[in-house]
């Protein structure tokens, strides 16, 4: 494959790796030289398409289905990565769920489902990563810039991602002596299906003008940041939340 060789010989697991930001991350890490386990929850066709795109370009990839909140399924996914590729060096936890509602009107069942994926899922994946990442490895989790911008209707989502940030910054300190970095990336408005769903063209246009760069981010913008944090060039960055958002607060 063409591109950087910073991750040549390394093995990456990307949760939610078949769509949106996760797919862009999977493809970028493969271009960097990593073998990639493309995790997905239910979209088998999308996962196979992502793997096919990576292998067609000369990379190595494997689709693995797992519910990120299921500790047994996640452990089995790590087992598969180790069995197929020999170990795990990078974990990018991109799987997530979003529910938009005012706090007053939020369905609490939706809140529970969101927290199961975003909070419990992050803990389950991070726990396995903490146990299994090899020296020189990296864990990159996904937060959101809404934690700082506090847009209305994002209360439940921002709360779940604030929990992710807090957990990962603690984990970075718990891994002292392991030579493993832990960071979070907090995208701003990014043109993914998850973000665009339910928004009118007028709302999308308005949101695209909010960053000083006056556009929506792309999945590739976020993948570039993840590539830096996951590779040797970003290994001095640890215990941080990087807000990749075009200049939002």
Task: Reply yes or no on whether the pLDDT at 117 is more than 50.
Answer: yes
Least Cα distance to 106 among 156, 160, 159 occurs for: 156
Select the more confidently predicted residue: 131 or 206.
131
**pLDDT attached to residue 6:** 64
Count Cα atoms within 13 angstroms, Cβ side, for 164: 37
Mean pLDDT for the stretch of residues 191-207: 84
**pLDDT attached to residue 52:** 98
Domains annotated for the chain, with CATH where assigned, are 11-242 (3.40.50.720)
DSSP state of 177: T
**pLDDT attached to residue 198:** 76
Catalytic residues: 157
**106 to 95, 114, 156, 189, 210: CA distances (angstroms):** 22, 11, 8, 22, 26
Mean pLDDT for the stretch of residues 124-131: 98
Mean pLDDT for the stretch of residues 132-139: 98
């Amino acid at each position: 494959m063409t591109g950087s060789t910073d991750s040549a010989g390394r093995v990456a697991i990307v949760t939610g790796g078949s769509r949106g930001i996760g797919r862009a991350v999977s493809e970028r890490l493969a271009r960097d030289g990593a073998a990639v386990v493309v995790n997905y929850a239910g979209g088998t066709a999308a996962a196979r398409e992502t793997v096919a795109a990576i292998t067609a370009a000369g990379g190595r990839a494997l689709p693995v289905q797992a519910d990120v909140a299921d500790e047994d399924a996640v452990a089995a996914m790590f087992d598969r990565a180790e069995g197929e590729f020999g170990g795990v060096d990078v974990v990018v936890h991109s799987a997530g769920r979003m529910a938009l509602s005012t706090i007053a009107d939020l369905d609490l069942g939706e809140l529970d489902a969101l927290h199961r994926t975003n909070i419990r899922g992050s803990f389950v994946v991070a726990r396995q990563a903490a146990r299994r990442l090899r020296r020189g490895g990296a864990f990159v989790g996904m937060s959101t810039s809404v934690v700082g911008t506090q847009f209305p209707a994002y209360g439940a989502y921002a709360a779940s991602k604030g929990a992710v940030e807090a957990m990962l910054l603690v984990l970075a300190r718990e891994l002292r002596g392991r030579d493993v970095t832990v960071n979070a990336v907090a995208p701003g408005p990014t043109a993914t299906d998850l973000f665009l769903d339910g928004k009118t063209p007028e709302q999308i246009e308005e949101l695209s003008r909010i960053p000083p760069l006056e556009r929506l981010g792309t999945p590739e913008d976020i993948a570039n940041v993840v590539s830096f944090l996951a590779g040797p060039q970003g290994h001095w960055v640890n215990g941080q939340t990087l807000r990749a958002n075009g200049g939002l607060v």
